[in-house]
Amino acid sequence: MPELPEVETLATDLRPLVVGRRVTGVDLRFPTIVRHPEPEAFARDLPGQTIEALERRGKYLLLRLGGGAVFVVHLGMTGQLLHKLPEDPSRPHTHAVLDLDNGTQLRYSDVRRFGRLLLGTEEDLVAARKLPRLGPEPLAPEFTARELYRRLHGRRAPLKVLLLDQSVLAGVGNIYADESCYRARIRPDRPAGRLSMERVKRLHAAVRESLQMGIDNRGSSVDDYVDLYGAKGRQQEELQVYGRGGKPCFNCGRPLTLVRIGGRATVFCRRCQR
């Protein structure tokens, strides 16, 4: 699933192309990709709206419109958002096409259809449980190690489970959770509430470093992720543990352990992560 670095890459590339543009038409080819409001209302209400700003919140793209409305894109596991000209060939599984007033298009495709498009005010989307209440942004200057310690303290769940909990920390998924634990030399199955402040400081730094490296390398294309122009990221070439179960640890050479934590495949080194 695209995580914070992948969505931030899309947001950075997309912002200068769409801010100030007006949506002139919507073609919903798979209407149920719209989860709020009803697809008919979505296709009726979005045309004529001007995109006033574009933000990322966790793994969500928020295109802010007039009157407090927001058009939200969540890529799910295999969603792709592309900026194209009308004459460009359409990819398979293209489920929605937005025409813009400068003759370009935003196209949303999704093989497994786990992504979603939303339209409404943030308050309405949260109230309808279509947009979750998200925790702090891990790269925000105000997100400190002490704040992370406060959110983990007293919790019995494994660390990996809480790193994936979007109400605890927004934007971290399976890839960067594994990479952050490895970088911090902490086992992902350790009860989160038992981490000392010293270890939480290491984890805080590791999370931020892992995410920033992912952004610098334009995301991890381990499966379906591509950027706005269809190009793959480079971060998958730098991954230390994710997807490498059974392979030697780059640090000590011991085979990496693959387990399931909270239902998610998790890779770590039993020697380097204590």
Which residue in 244, 239, 179 sits closest to 208, CA to CA?
179
With a CB cutoff of 8 Å and minimum separation 6, the contacts of 241 are: 178, 179, 182, 249, 256, 267, 268, 269
For residue 83, the number of C-alpha atoms closer than 13 Å in the C-beta half-sphere is 18
Which residue in 34, 75, 41 sits closest to 58, CA to CA?
75
Which residue in 266, 95, 30, 234 sits closest to 164, CA to CA?
266
CB distance 203 to 184 below 8 Å: yes
Helix-helix angle 174-184:197-216, to 10 degrees: 130
Residues with catalytic function:
2-3, 59, 264
